[in-house]
Amino acid sequence: MKKQKTKFVCQECQTESPKWLGRCPGCGGWGTMIEEVIQVASVRGVDSAHHVLKSSSPMRLHEVETAETLRFSTGSAEFDRALGGGIIPGEVFLVGGDPGIGKSTLLLQTAQLVARAEWIVLYVTGEESVQQVRLRAQRLGALHDALYVLAETDVDVIAEHVHALGPHLLIVDSIQTMSRAHIQSAPGSSQQVRECTMALLRLAKERNLATCIVGHVTKDGTIAGPRLMEHMVDAVFYFEGDRNQRFRILRAVKNRFGSTNEIGVFDMQSGGLVDVLSPSEIFLAERSRGVAGSAVVSSLEGTRPMLIEVQALVTPTAFGTPRRMASGVDYNRVSLLMAVLEKRLGLYLQSQDAYVNVVGGVRMDEPAVDLGIAVAIASSFKDEPIRSGIVLIGEVGLTGEVRAVTHLEKRISEAAKLGFSRVLAPLGNMKRADSSIASEIEVIGVHSLQEALRLALGG
């Protein structure tokens, strides 16, 4: 028997080597070289007719005929928001997330909602039996005549069922369990994941079939498999959240047909996932009032403003080196703001432990929350509560200045809708603020962190 030829491919940068190397010569990663079987150019016994795109010829760009792309709804307003308005026929998108976070629950509920709108949905599972999927669907109330389920791991067999059934939406759960018969590698290997994704991509484009692929994530938080897989698909979404918290966030990191700034917020309940149409009210429902170290900030996620509570606890350290901890915000950003408070405002924080937490398990990365974090830290250090009814908006610079932010009007409108009476905002934004919005709530422009502290603290 002729010995198979193999090569070693880096899972990070796709660098190839004829022998195993502990360190990749391309990207310098350790332990990333995985053995793959070298495939011949033509494979007998494999029907690839269904996976080959139609022949094409070059055309002048201005001669290409365009047609309005009609999206169809997932039945979930939050999922539609993250997708950019709904699903486009022929779109292939990837959904990843930690184990047990609710990926299969989200997609099974979505499959039922799409089927309810008279679209045929094929749910392919490679991890469960059809009986297990039936029991989960019964618990979620996700049963419908137009929803079909298939327990299969061979992509070529799945393609045959797609041609026979003619679904409008295909869900594959998950890509790490899929394989192709002529590939000698085990399911989940880099070679199998790449080939299976390419086969599903060609099938989707040929039949104009919307396809959702579920992907496992590694311990680093990235989707398992070659990075090339994320480049091949049209959109990539991460389903995030703390397993000890109720809320889940569907965040887009790539979207060819929509914005990557949009997110969908869901509430995990006993009966499945429920859309959270007003996240601000949920996040502020249990807010403590009149307590030092609690501040309300406005974070903009895509086009949606959200009011979120930030809590800070500053206490004298029992050791020589003070401890710093941040949850939901960047640790380095918290250290920078504490340095500004100490240098520009004279707050002696060198001997203080500091803990900053964003309530609800949400992560905020935009600079507009700097002012709220800094004021919360100062409030806890001085043991003075922030005045009631105040929302803090602004980026803090190294000299202690409060810098302008984007979409101030949307943030002010959200604060006014939830009953807040005052907003401390950057002075640089005030000239461009809409006067009609400003009249609904008192908006005070501040040019420095010191001025913001003077207005925010005290009874």
- Known binding-site residue numbers for ATP: 97-104
DSSP β-bridge partners for residue 294? 311
Question: Beta-carbon neighbour count of residue 94 at 10 Å?
Answer: 25
* Annotated binding residues: 97-104
- According to DSSP, the β-strands at 16-17 and 6-10 are antiparallel
DSSP state of 175: G
Amino acid occupying residue 159? A
Q: Give the number of residues written for the chain.
A: 459
80 alpha carbon, distance to own chain's centre? 14
Whole-angstrom CA distances from 27 to 16, 94, 225 are: 12, 25, 16
- For residue 202, count CB atoms less than 10 angstroms from its CB and return exposed for 0-12, middle for 13-18, buried for 19 or more: middle
- Distance between CA atoms of 295 and 289, rounded to whole angstroms? 10
- Distance between CA atoms of 52 and 24, rounded to whole angstroms? 33
- Distance between CA atoms of 377 and 308, rounded to whole angstroms? 16
Number of helices (H), then strands (E), belonging to the chain: the values are 13, 21
Q: Assign 306 to helix, strand or coil.
A: strand
106 contacts: CB under 8 Å, gap ≥ 6: 79, 95, 239, 248, 250, 266, 273
163 alpha carbon, distance to own chain's centre? 32
- Distance between CA atoms of 126 and 171, rounded to whole angstroms? 11
- Distance between CA atoms of 239 and 106, rounded to whole angstroms? 9
DSSP state of 404: P
171 contacts: CB under 8 Å, gap ≥ 6: 107, 110, 111, 121, 122, 123, 124, 211, 212, 214
